Amino acid sequence: MQLNFTHHQSAHCESGVASNLLKDKGLNLSEPMVFGLGSGVFYVYLPFLKVSNAPGLSYRPMPGWIFSRMAKRLGIKIKRLKFASPERAQRQLDENLKNGIPTGLQVGVYHLPYFPDDYRFHFNAHNLVIYGKDAGSYLVSDPTMEGVHRLSEKELEKVRFAKGVLAPKGHLYYPVFLPREADIDWPKAIRKAILKTCNDMLAPVPIVGVRGMRMVARAIAKWPQKVGVPKANYYLAQMVRMQEEIGTGGGGFRYIYSAFLQEAGRKINNPILLELSEEMTKIGDLWRDFAVNASRVYKKRSQQSDVYNSLSAALLQLADLEEAFFKKLKKAV
């Protein structure tokens, strides 16, 4: 049993799954538009929460929020279910497939057999689509992968019921109502989404948005003396992994958001958004530079002296640039 579902590769799992599910139902929404309408750019530093034995850091809202926010702003209805029993979770998924419903799942990545070894760690907020079942194997459209894959019933159960932080508990979701594109109030939806992102990034909270970035920057300078160089290097490695490989939160998210601003500016005829799109791309380039320089440190390939203070200064500069950017963006809408 294989549904007529088209796999599209994307940069980020949740926005990619949402875009693919909506395209399947006839609403041709790009990944950047999903991401931007879902206010996907975010930043929070949680030093009191350890993730993989490093301070907690997130470049995105909670799992599911991007799709849910976008859906609310466009008038889309999504059904979401979680399960205490793996058997009930499998029955519901099989029933969806029999009813012709491609289904989004939240899973843990550590036990995904098609993931490269370097990308496997205990991260339970990955998203993919199941679009069929054949000879006991589920057909998987993972938008972060170039092609489609298969998982056995046991393999899928293992990732759907992964343990730890953000345990998915068999979480599945799918759209049940989509408005006509002509009925969507695009200016209102785009304005609300942009204002939410700006308010998040400019929040007067020490651990959130640009203030959270500054808090991390100051922490980086202190890590070698506070926890020792080996652990400081590990913290940097975890930070870059979340930023560029799993969370795609640094340059990756800025490039997606830049594409959203470009598409949104044309859709509502706001040329200022087109100008700010170019500025966000340049900020994304600086995030990539930061990740490259940080990776050289923990791989012991950096020839730079005083590297931790240098990285701290670079992140402080990014915080200043983003503060100015989001203030301009807020004014533009």
CA distances 253 to 60, 89, 129, 140, 286, Å, are: 9, 32, 21, 24, 12
Q: 171 with 225, same domain?
A: no
Three-state secondary structure call for residue 284: helix
* Residues 233 and 135 both lie in one domain: no
- 135 plus 19 within the same structural domain: yes
**Domain identity same for 93 and 138:** yes
Point out the domain boundary residue: 121, 146, 177.
177
Contact 182, 119 (CB under 8 A): no
Nearest-CA neighbor of 25 among 185, 184, 182, 174? 174
| pLDDT at residue 299 in the model | 80
Which is more confident, 85 or 246? 85
Average confidence (pLDDT) over 25-44: 96
Residues 157, 242, single domain; the answer is no
The CATH number that applies at residue 96 is 3.90.70.10
Contact indicator for 6, 20 with CB cutoff of 8 Å:
yes
Q: What's the whole-model pTM score?
A: 0.93
The maximal CA–CA distance of the chain, rounded, in angstroms, is 61
In tens, the pLDDT along 286-322 reads 999 999 999 888 887 665 658 899 999 999 999 999 9
Residue 169: pLDDT above 70? Answer: yes
DSSP string, 53-106: TEEEEESS-STTHHHHHHHHHHT-EEEEE--S-HHHHHHHHHHHHHTT--EEEE
| Percent share of the chain, pLDDT over 90 | 79
Looking at residue 316, what is its pLDDT? 98
* pLDDT value at 44 more than 90: yes
**Is 125 part of a structural domain of the chain?**
yes
Whole-number mean pLDDT of the chain? 93
Same domain for 231 and 102: no
**pLDDT recorded at residue 50:** 83
Residue-wise pLDDT tens digits, 191-206: 999 999 999 999 999 9
Together in a domain, 170 and 205? no
Q: Which of 33-37, 139-143, 306-310 bottoms out in mean pLDDT, i.e. has the lowest?
A: 306-310
Angle at CA 44, nearest 5°, toward 279 and 51? 125
How many domains are there within the chain?
2
Specify the residue for token string 């159960």: 157
The pLDDT > 70 percentage for the chain reads 97
190 and 154 belong to one structural domain: no
Could you tell me the residue range of the domain that residue 200 belongs to? 185-332
Q: What is the mean pLDDT of residues 240-255?
A: 82
Shared domain for 214 and 277, answered yes or no, is: yes
Q: Check residue 247 and give its pLDDT.
A: 61
